[in-house]
Structure 1
Amino acid sequence: MRGLGWISVAIASGRGRVTQHKINLDTVLLQSAPYWDAIGPDFAARMTGAPEQEREPEDTNVVPLRVSNETPIYDNNTGWAMVAERLREQDPAIFNAWLSQLTALEGDDTSITLGAPSKFVAQYVNTHFLQRIKASLVAIEGGQRQIKILCLED
């Protein structure tokens, strides 16, 4: 790599120190430019600053997240309807991707049980969004209830 000029010595070794090298990025980019198209046309466009070409929808392998513009129907007896609405207003993207999948199973003065469509969703929501759900529940009701998230799959 030194022979190609891609790296050079920044600080030479001496007195027990190891040589430090630096990457000559301009040289690397200049010499690798003919191969950018092999990586992909989008990479070549980004590297040259050219605007990216629009691809046809069938050319993409991106799977869009589920978007729910409808207001979900929840069991009002548990208090989940108001909590869900508050969470949706706070962060629509997270709500649509994760929290909209939850359904109220049962609730009383001390706890609320929510159902998730899969074990993965139940664990993810429990790990990443449980405190957010609890905070919204406290803000709406004023008291604290235990929240359980169960998987609805067998």
Structure 2
Amino acid sequence: MQVAKPVGRNAPAIKYDILSALTVHALSGDKHRQRSILRIIALITTRYNWRNNELSIGREEIARLWSVNERTVKREMAKLRSMGWIAVKRPAARGRVAVYELDLKQVMLDTSDIWPTIGSDFQARMSDDPEPDTNIVPFKVKPAPFEPSDEGVWTQVQAILHRRDPELWASWFQHLTEADRAGGVVTLMAPSRFMADYIAQKWSARLLAAYGRVDPSVRRLRFEAAE
């Protein structure tokens, strides 16, 4: 499943598809899910920059939009981060609010169970690769298969990462090993310092979100190099 970037001539349709999936996913759940999804839809429709994938908003403003207190905002945003739907792109600084980014592909993966409810055309559209905007044919590399060796936490995390993006997993995540997990902190070992630093900077939020689905007690990741 691919999610095209919601820009260009097909942008309105892609945005409607994403919002439709979120809405129907909410209505298929209990009142708690409905409230959570309604809150993220409110952020998307009022403050989200689709082109840059940026949500620039402070906790106080979120509380005002949601008609809640800031403690509820903190708890709800932490929940969305643990789901892998949202990540901090740039933390808040003096005189500047935090900037978040949305993982639209993870959102669509998590709502895929309701695609048939919307319609067979929607399911087919979401399941197909988007047509490229140019006449250049991309070269696709067959992703490496994932072969679980046990049912441990790290194996389950790896399975989530592979299902989310097989190509990315094959390039980066499959080379990691879990060296230690204690006190809510996980130490991951990479083959080189470059790989450890790059994954820490670029993909730590996705890794932490995957851990959150298996072991919610994990709150922080450390990256070390085997060299």
Distance of aligned partners of 1:122 and 1:137 in 2 relative to their CA distance in 1, 3 Å threshold: same
Percentage of identical aligned residues: 24
For residue 180 of structure 2, give the secondary structure of its aligned residue in structure 1. strand
Unmatched segments (≥5 aa) in structure 2: 1-134
Task: Specify which of 144, 147, 164 is matched with residue 68 of structure 1.
Answer: 144
1:35-57 CA distances to partner (integer Å, 9 max, x unpaired)?
A: xxxxxxxxxxxxxx9xxxxxxxx
Q: What SS does structure 2 have at the residue aligned with 1:69?
A: coil
Q: Which has the higher contact order (CA 8 A, sep 6+)?
A: 2
Residue 163 of structure 2 corresponds to residue 89 of structure 1:
yes
> Any idea what the Cα deviations from partners look like across 1:51-109, whole Å, max 9, x if unmatched?
xxxxxxxxxxxxx9795324254793xx2111111011001010000000001111124
Tell me the equivalent position of 1:140: 214
Say which structure is richer in helix: 2
**Residues 1-150 of structure 1 aligned to structure 2 (within 5 Å):** 67-71=143-147, 73=149, 76=152, 79-150=153-224
Whole-angstrom CA distance in 2 between matches of 1:75 and 1:104: 14
Q: In 1, distance between residues paired with 2:201 and 2:217?
A: 22
Tell me the residue number matched to 2:113. Answer: none
- Could you report, residue by residue, the CA deviation over 1:3-42 in whole angstroms, capped at 9, with x for unpaired residues? xxxxxxxxxxxxxxxxxxxxxxxxxxxxxxxxxxxxxxxx
TM-score normalised over the length of structure 1: 0.51
* 91-100 or 107-116, which deviates more: 107-116
Larger radius of gyration: 1
| Unmatched runs of 5 consecutive residues or more in structure 1 | 1-48, 50-63
Q: How many aligned residue pairs are there?
A: 91
In structure 2, do the counterparts of structure 1 residues 115 and 66 end up closer, same or farther at CA, with 3 Å as the change threshold? farther
Q: CA RMSD in A?
A: 2.8
TM-score by length of 2: 0.35
